Amino acid sequence: MSDVILRAFAWSDIPAITAIYRHYVDNTAITFDTEAPGEPAMAEKFGHLVALGHPLIVAEQDGQVRGYAYASFYRPRAAYRFTCEDSIYLHPDATGKGLGRIMLTELIARSKAFGFKQMIGVITADTKNSIAIHEKFGFRYVGKYEAVGYKFDRWHDIVHLQLTL
């Protein structure tokens, strides 16, 4: 992707981030949310990430938010504090153009710099492109949970992939 800028999150990104996430809630099983959160809920979530200092990046092209990515605690208990879960969401028009690769590269680097030691990808099992990009970065398959999410009138499996940072 040409002229993509990866930058820090800004509060003015909340409307675009909310709209991107809404697309995935309403149209895919990539997230198991069944109702899209509004801007106040997204602002609260991202405020928490900012307060923790966790890696949080925005991809911008031609002044438009094209995607966002973050890494945060895999689980809330203290023993998990060195293990993160990655999340990357792209504007629907920005998929399949290499932006996910660019963002995951930066997210891994920032996660290492933050001090995370392990990164977990929790991915809906039929999301082959997301699984494939994680595997290209060296994530290894560590498990599958069957029929744990019910969305769009069917059950979905999830897989866990893991990368030592």
Give 98's DSSP letter. Answer: S
Tell me the residue range of the domain where 72 lies.
Answer: 5-164
pLDDT, tens digit, 9 for 90 and up, residues 142-153? 999 999 999 999
> What CATH number does residue 77 fall under?
3.40.630.30
Tens of pLDDT, residues 35-58: 999 999 999 999 999 999 999 999
Q: Taken in order 4, 16, 44, 41, is the CA torsion positive or negative?
A: negative
| pTM for the full predicted model | 0.95
Domain count, the chain: 1
Given CA atoms 21, 53, 108, 11 in this order, what sign does their dihedral have? positive
Distance CA 42, CA 73 (A): 17
